[in-house]
Structure 1
């Protein structure tokens, strides 16, 4: 004889129940959940009632207009999130087998990883898996890591390591410093030695607050008794920053590979200033339980490009 809980898990539980509970955990309002699923509020309440009746236990509780999960509901949502992720991966794998493709991979990156490195890695992957498809997402690191945790992204390239997370695996691909740059006609773009204090009188283009590059730059300026917030434009769009430096008296920092590429085009000038080596790491993130062939192959291609196609840049994979 099955208990109500055993009966629910053996024959009553549906994926729609799990999607509902995960949505309630994230949105915390029935109205928002109903809108997200394009159904009525009574339909959402009916599904909640079905779950609670089958389990013989409450899964939600109301506090004003908000709906919070009980301990039982929270367990179902947490486990359900992982189940839904695995179902999504299974869908990708089955679709790959049925259609004859090699799978779809989503790669995320922060703006400071060289586009040439990313493009070379993708081309290497597509050469080895010509029927595969790749989606590329560019965003701040905290957003990318959250997408990685919930399975919306397969791999992430970044410029720094985040907080320790047992669900994620990180590895340093190579090291490349940030350098100080300006427009080619800037007053300090004459090759003479420049100190950080010499930059005080000029307008700054700084990365987004809270990003690893912003924190490193702010720390360096603080050591010199300077404040980068005095006169600055906050932007992580490298193309915009290059245009602003080409047109105005701005100074900024860029990865060495970005800086040398734009300098070769005559768009920027590298300042004769000590580089920011604490921003040197380019890091690859993946989930610890990643086992899909296509993302694993792209990760392998990324590692190979880090070793073979970045001459002059040190890599801890070669030693």
Structure 2
């Protein structure tokens, strides 16, 4: 029988999930005592698992530095791959749990136009994979309209950019992303020239595309401009259509605000410029709102899918 390299033997049959979990935890926590506490076992038990790994592959995976253990280059490789393995196992667990539960029903979701497109799309894909017996519907509107639909029972989840507390029904909030608004101008606009360094004063004579009057985004933008002595001209446009706003911006007649995720993608294509002005952080959160009093299993599953999809977007 041919001799098998100990490293190959370890990865074929010796590697166990506890090995990966312990090494990943050690990379995060740095000390055996902390890892032992996290797993609710004794310190010798963790040391034994590490020794098993090193004995099996014949090389060190950790080195001691005072009271702290540090991963060797080989240990870091195992940890990096181990994180991916554990992540995929967790995704499989969620899929199997949802399928075993037989989650069904209809989930009605609404979002403002400035929510990054992949967020809802990826969440829907996850949701329908985990709950194939369920159905889904989607609407796009301003946040005030979505929250009214949520209050009236016409919507299960509203995804927007403000944490609203003054609602007629109890509402739960789940922060998904940080994606602040930035000031933008089309490449054809005078402020869009890369050699210009515009300040607030340069915006006073500009034509604006603003969110619709009465929306939280409109109120926040107007307050931001008012603090700089800027009043949008009478010839400005109020619009909740992202497609229209982008088309008007690219023609070079207007300035506006966009989420940084959208603005950067157009700036990369050189048809828009992010102006060197402070971002509007108050609009930076992307938040899922859902009813706290009538939330069913399908709704809760969809919110979980939104959280997972947002995590993947941030990792990218």
Fold-level match, TM-score > 0.5?
yes
Which of 283, 289, 296 pairs up with 2:287? 283
Answer with 225-234 or 148-157: which moved more.
Answer: 225-234
1:107 Cα deviation after fit: 0.5
Rounded Cα–Cα distance in structure 2 between residues aligned with 1:198 and 1:231: 17
1:132-211 matches, within 5 Å, as 132-165=134-167, 167-191=170-194, 192-211=196-215
Rounded Cα–Cα distance in structure 2 between residues aligned with 1:229 and 1:282: 29
Equivalent position SS for 1:220? helix
**Are 2:191 and 1:213 equivalent residues in the alignment?**
no
Deviations 1:243-273 (CA, angstroms, capped at 9, x unpaired):
1111132100001111122333443222222
Q: Are the equivalent residues in 1 in contact too, given 2:173–2:287 (CA < 8 A)?
A: yes
> What TM-score does the superposition give when structure 1 sets the normalisation length?
0.62
Rounded Cα–Cα distance in structure 1 between residues aligned with 2:171 and 2:252: 42
Deviations 1:228-252 (CA, angstroms, capped at 9, x unpaired):
1443111111100111111132100
Rounded Cα–Cα distance in structure 2 between residues aligned with 1:252 and 1:182: 7
Deviations 1:15-43 (CA, angstroms, capped at 9, x unpaired):
xxxxxxxxxxxxxxxxxxxxxxxxxxxxx
**Are 2:314 and 1:296 equivalent residues in the alignment?**
no
1:111 Cα deviation after fit: 1.5
1:1-319 matches, within 5 Å, as 102-165=104-167, 167-191=170-194, 192-311=196-315
Equivalent position SS for 1:103? strand
> What TM-score does the superposition give when structure 2 sets the normalisation length?
0.63
Deviations 1:109-139 (CA, angstroms, capped at 9, x unpaired):
1112111211111112122223422100111
Q: Are the equivalent residues in 1 in contact too, given 2:208–2:256 (CA < 8 A)?
A: yes
Deviations 1:205-249 (CA, angstroms, capped at 9, x unpaired):
111011122111111111111111443111111100111111132
1:105 Cα deviation after fit: 0.9
Q: Are the equivalent residues in 2 in contact too, given 1:124–1:301 (CA < 8 A)?
A: yes
Q: Are the equivalent residues in 2 in contact too, given 1:242–1:267 (CA < 8 A)?
A: no
Q: Are the equivalent residues in 2 in contact too, given 1:108–1:144 (CA < 8 A)?
A: yes
Rounded Cα–Cα distance in structure 2 between residues aligned with 1:193 and 1:122: 41
Rounded Cα–Cα distance in structure 2 between residues aligned with 1:110 and 1:310: 19
Rounded Cα–Cα distance in structure 2 between residues aligned with 1:249 and 1:229: 12
Alignment size in residue pairs: 213
Q: Are the equivalent residues in 1 in contact too, given 2:203–2:230 (CA < 8 A)?
A: no
Rounded Cα–Cα distance in structure 2 between residues aligned with 1:117 and 1:274: 25
Rounded Cα–Cα distance in structure 2 between residues aligned with 1:201 and 1:311: 40
Rounded Cα–Cα distance in structure 2 between residues aligned with 1:290 and 1:184: 48
Q: Are the equivalent residues in 1 in contact too, given 2:206–2:232 (CA < 8 A)?
A: no
Gaps of at least 5 residues in structure 1 are 1-99, 313-319
Rounded Cα–Cα distance in structure 2 between residues aligned with 1:245 and 1:283: 27
Rounded Cα–Cα distance in structure 1 between residues aligned with 2:250 and 2:295: 46
1:101 Cα deviation after fit: 7.9
Deviations 1:171-194 (CA, angstroms, capped at 9, x unpaired):
322221101111122211233432
Equivalent position SS for 2:177? strand
Gaps of at least 5 residues in structure 2 are 1-101
Rounded Cα–Cα distance in structure 2 between residues aligned with 1:115 and 1:159: 14
